[in-house]
Structure formats: C-alpha cells, structure tokens
Amino acid sequence: SRRISDRLDALEEAGEDPIEGAYRLEVSSPGIDRPLTRPADFADWAGHEAKVALKEKRDGRLRFNGELAGIDAGIVTIFDKEGVEHKLPFDAIDTAKLVLTDKLIAATVPLSIEGADDMEEEGQD
C-alpha cells in the first residue's frame, strides 16, 4: 500500500493525475475467509471448507460447498456435505472462498511466542 501511495504521489508531483478529484486509498487484507484465486490456494487450503461458484453449470449446479481436497493437473477436488466428490476444472471457477470455521481459525492463529526467551539457540553450549 505504501508503494502504491508513493507512486500516485510521484505521478501527481510530475503533473500527471491518474485519478480526478480527491480520493482516499484504503488497502486491507483478504481476511480469514479469503478468496481462493490461484491454483496454489486450493492446494494450500486443502482440508478446509470452501464455497465455489462456477462460470457455467456443471452436473446441473453452479455452486459447490464442501471440503477442499486439493488440486491436481488443473482440477480442483471438493467433497460436498454428503461426501460426494466433485472434480472442477480450475478454469471453470468464477469465484471461490474459504468458509469461516473453527478449524480455519485454529489454522490461522499466530504461533505463541511464550517461552521464546527460554529457548537456546542451536549451537550454543
């Protein structure tokens, strides 16, 4: 966000105004129930619940909710609530996001630093 702001300031100082009128630049993190936008996201968050919407119907459905099983060769695998496996081409996905669950919260909690002062560095006697 700082780099974007600095670049906009530099353009303005050079006499170029990419945005007419006053504006406020706000940048935020995607949040815990983040969107899944890259193939790696589907691998990284395997085992977590997600909502997937397709560009066009597949198996008579546009939306699939369930546990991600990962991605292989461009095919995302998701198990719905009934345990039925669905294989969805990554390119057919319109939007996908994680569902906020206790499991997701536990997976994203920062590590505790408790006891860090008592740890010995490797190689010290």
Q: Give the number of other CB atoms < 10 A from CB of residue 119.
A: 8
Residues 6+ apart with CB under 8 A from 49: 65, 66, 67, 68, 98, 99, 101, 103, 104
The CATH code of the domain that includes 57 is: 2.30.30.100
Is residue 55 included in any domain, yes or no? yes
Which of 39-48, 75-84, 115-124 bottoms out in mean pLDDT, i.e. has the lowest? 115-124
Determine the pLDDT at residue 25.
67
Residue 96 burial (10 A CB sphere; 0-12, 13-18, 19+): buried
> Which residues form the domain of 47?
39-109
pLDDT over 80 (residue 20): no
What are the tens digits of pLDDT across the range 88-100?
A: 999 999 999 999 8
DSSP character for 34? -
**What is the reported pTM?**
0.65
Number of domains in the chain: 1
Number of C-alpha atoms within 13 angstroms, CB side, residue 5? 7
Is residue 111 very low, low, confident or very high in pLDDT (cuts 50, 70, 90)? low
Average confidence score pLDDT of the chain:
84
pLDDT over 70 (residue 103): yes
The rounded Cα 3 to chain-centroid distance in angstroms is: 22
Could you give the CA distance from residue 51 to residue 99 in angstroms, rounded to a whole number?
7
